[in-house]
Amino acid sequence: MRTNPVSTILAAFLLAPLVAPVPAQAQETPPAVVASYEALADTILAVRRAEGALVRSLLDGHRHAAQALEDQGDWQGAAAQIALFGNEGDNAIGGVRKRLLEGGHHYNASGEEQGIYEPGYVVVTKEAKKSLLDLSRRMRTASSDADREKAWSEFTAIADELLKAR
């Protein structure tokens, strides 16, 4: 059985008051326990920031790959990269997202509850995903350079907005 290190650490912090010497008239949590819990909170929040940065980096890679393919006139390849951007990665990344969800981790839990994000998504909203997948389809099926360029322009506007630092 695999143990969750965060759960193990959290359990240790929660049990600390039970094993730590406590003065008979203590009416507060010992400062060392508070400091430990603060350190754990810092770690959890840092991991959350790192996840956001990692997903933005992944998306930035798809955006740059799409740009390189578009520059070469490979509209099909660019369309595929737009779809990967809209899906926040490929099936391998989807598998990681599924594992996180199964473990109870929801990066945008309140956004999911409000219908803004699909479960496990970090950056791409449902609305943006729908638009991006439509743009990918339009890019693949466009009958003229003008139509492809219009789809490309719309993609870059959405991608640039989503990739802004938050």
Residue 114, number of CB atoms within 10 A of its CB: 9
- The reported pLDDT for the residue numbered 27 is 84
d(CA 138, CA 151): 7
Q: Is residue 97 a contact partner of residue 120, using CB atoms and an 8 Å limit?
A: yes
> In the prediction, which pLDDT does 79 show?
98
> Among the listed ranges 17-21, 26-30, 98-102, which one has the minimum average pLDDT value?
17-21
Torsion of CA 15, 18, 20, 24, to 10 degrees: 150
Residue 1 has pLDDT above 90, yes or no: no
pLDDT per position as a tens digit, 66-95:
999 999 999 999 999 999 999 999 999 999
pTM of the model: 0.81
Q: How far apart are CA 155 and CA 128, in angstroms?
A: 10
Domain boundaries, the chain: 29-163
CA 166 to chain centre: 12
Q: How far apart are CA 115 and CA 75, in angstroms?
A: 32
pLDDT for position 97? 95
